[in-house]
Amino acid sequence: MHDTKRRIARLSAFPLSGSVLLGLAFGATAAQAQTETNEEMISNEIIVTAQKREERLKDVPVPLTAVSGDALLQQNQTKAQDFFASVPGVNLQFQNNRAQLAIRGITTSPVTGNPVVGFTIDGVPYGSSTGQGGLYGAAPDIDPSELARIEVLRGPQGTLYGASSMGGLVKYVTIAPDLSEVSGSIGGGVNMIRGGGQSFGYNVRGAINVPLGETVAVRASAYTRKEPGYIDNVRTGKNDVNSSRVTGGRLTALWEPSDMFSLTLGAMYQVRDIYGSSNVDTQTGSFYQQTDQIGSGRSKSDMQMYRAEINADLGGVDLTSITSFSRSTNYDNQDFTASPLTIFLFPAIFPPTITEFGNVLLQTYDVDKVSHETRLSGNVGDSIDWIVGGFYTHEKGNYTIDTFAINPDNGDVYGVPVVWRDNIKYQEYAAFANLTARLSDQFDIQFGGRFSENDQKMTHREWFQGAPYPADPFYSTTSPEAHGSSFTYQITPRFKPTPDHMIYGRLATGYRPGGPNAGCSEDPAEPVPCQFKPDKTVNYEIGAKGDLLDRALSYDVSLFNIDWTDIQITQVSSLGTFTYNSNAGKARSRGFEIALEARPVEGLTVKAWWAYVDATLRESFASDVVYAAEGDRLPFSSKNSGRFSFDYEAPVSDGDITASFGASATYVGERKGEFVPSAADAPLRASYPGYVQFDLHAGLDFNNWNLNVFVQNVTNKHGVIGGGFYNQSTFNANWFNYAQPRTVGLNLGYEF
């Protein structure tokens, strides 16, 4: 609103750049910046909202990658794991059929403690603040046709975004309604995966935007996609078991009676069905076979989100208010046959006539979440920009476990030795402020702070078959509570020697809350603390962004050191019956990221980046069940990673048709798996070899039509992206997840 217009007017005094670092396209911006004049001024810039106000990407003193939904569709990057593997400093761990992220190495396990990476959808926090309700921070799998862009902020973002952004933040920005004209799109495509037999995948999507008068517009969209399976289960005899389907839709209404006020109402729904796991058992000697138990592998997640956003110009002060409600229901059926439960407990409680067991673990994760944020922003002359705000969230989460002891030959259920029920309530209040003081036309400093408090209450119930059947199970209930508070801050000086170059420093902190432990106990045979503590990161960083050679070359360089204290870790109870959270000592992640983009001739764009991340423990920790030594690498992060790509576009047929083609090579370096139970097991810690994946794409644009063809993983490289020894989801040293095999397909779309 008022502040946005002042800011864009000030930016327009600088010459505008054509294509900036990692900018693939300009997506739709927030409703308050949709006037025709503003669009003309910023049409060839990437505008992001990383700091909760609109800025050119090249002016944001934060290491940031932005990509449009159109660019993702062009390369068929329709799933979370497709895109995040190509972002500097980001590593992906595929766990329970979901994409878990490690940004700059800040993680100890996908299922340890509370989430370390935050996610927002149109400013609304996604998922739970706790591990029990939020699937441990799994990335949303939103269809790119719904996205204006994705922004990935690397390093702690606790001041503006609060809990669970201690490693970084991912912002999903959807396409907003347009008041100017009726418009829409329809599209679809097919693909085939090597090893998938004769089964084809497909996708269908459509959207329409309808203005209802001069002040109201509605946008509606829907999509569905089916991914073919390519892994065969040799135990069950079923082929292509890991197929999946994602279906969803979105409805958004915008009311903008004047330039001074707008109201946006939105609803989003998505259901994601995974029909079988992507585990591969290396003992089969094939990259396309598994031995998962009968009845395991299936998972499903339903997500719905409702949102109301008000933007108002209060006369020199801009008001933004966002209120939301979301509901997420999820379940997984996992093969836990190699777990201690199966190996030690089952033979002790079932009749001796039963000699072989399988274990299918049914887990459900459900969360209802209400959140609200109100913030005010403005200026004091031309010298100071400020933002102040408050945030509140209330979450109700349910986490359940049922362990089915089964006959591995036919799936018959012998019994359910462990039944686990957790109900958790999480409530947080926070206040934050951010101020930018411009000391000259070239130099400014940002100061920010955030104070938050959280309260957590849990009710835990457990039925445990500790004596042989038909004895009654042991029943226990606990009601642990946790309370915590945190202050995070950031200081960011920024110097612009010329309009095309920026140098910045950044001192920023992040945190994630602690929480209660479900099975807390003072029993000396199996002691478990009732509460684990929050942990915190502090990031020291210097960076530079800019353009060279008359803007034919763009650069983005950052050098960082992140100190991590009181790190949350998962331990296994001394009897091996369940896991709980605790805190260890210190870790450190340090390294650099460098990205270059060159435009040597018209139509050709060449990009390259390299990231070096040295994420290691600074203190050893050990117990009867978890061991890690000082200097050990944190899980899932590669010390070296990089990407090279080029894209070329040129008109053909007297300009009526535009042709394009491109290629990329992405390198993911060696990574380590989860920590192991003891020093004796250290040599068995999983190691994921480095690999390079090559992708190709080409397209034609003609008369509002676009046709894109693609080949992903051209050389059919079997890059490891999850699994291995003591993996919390499998306990099986021989099970791994691999990058999707070579995939060939095409997409056809029409816009009007």
**Rounded mean pLDDT for each run of 10 residues along the chain, 752 residues in total:** 37 31 32 34 63 88 90 80 82 74 85 84 90 68 86 93 91 95 95 85 95 96 94 95 94 97 97 93 95 94 95 95 95 89 90 93 93 96 94 95 95 95 95 96 96 95 91 92 95 95 97 89 79 94 94 95 91 67 91 96 96 95 77 92 96 86 96 84 88 96 94 95 68 86 95 92
Structure-block tokens of residue 115: 């989430």
In this structure, are residues 635 and 674 in contact, taking their beta carbons and an 8 Å threshold?
yes
Quote the CA–CA distance of 632 and 618 in Å, as a whole number.
8
Catalogue all structural domains in the chain, each as residue range(s) with its CATH number: 2-751 (2.40.170.20)
For 551, other C-beta atoms within 10 Å of its C-beta total 16
State the pLDDT at residue 32: 35
State the pLDDT at residue 725: 67
What residues are paired with 651 via a beta bridge?
Answer: 658
Amino acid at 357: F
In this structure, are residues 669 and 689 in contact, taking their beta carbons and an 8 Å threshold?
no
What residues are paired with 149 via a beta bridge?
Answer: 68, 173
In this structure, are residues 516 and 481 in contact, taking their beta carbons and an 8 Å threshold?
yes
Structure-block tokens of residue 32: 């308050």
Tally the residues of the chain. 752
Predicted TM-score (pTM) of the model is 0.89
* φ, ψ dihedrals at 36, nearest 5°: -60, -40
Structure-block tokens of residue 320: 């933004």
Structure-block tokens of residue 434: 């951010």
For 344, other C-beta atoms within 10 Å of its C-beta total 12
In this structure, are residues 64 and 48 in contact, taking their beta carbons and an 8 Å threshold?
yes
Structure-block tokens of residue 146: 């719904």
Place of tokens 């590593």: 91
State the pLDDT at residue 704: 92
State the pLDDT at residue 135: 56
Distances from the Cα of 68 to the Cα of 72, 75, 83, angstroms: 7, 11, 11
What residues are paired with 493 via a beta bridge?
Answer: 445
Amino acid at 152: V
State the pLDDT at residue 653: 76
Alpha helix (H) ranges present in 312-406?
340, 346-349
In this structure, are residues 566 and 537 in contact, taking their beta carbons and an 8 Å threshold?
no
In this structure, are residues 94 and 737 in contact, taking their beta carbons and an 8 Å threshold?
yes
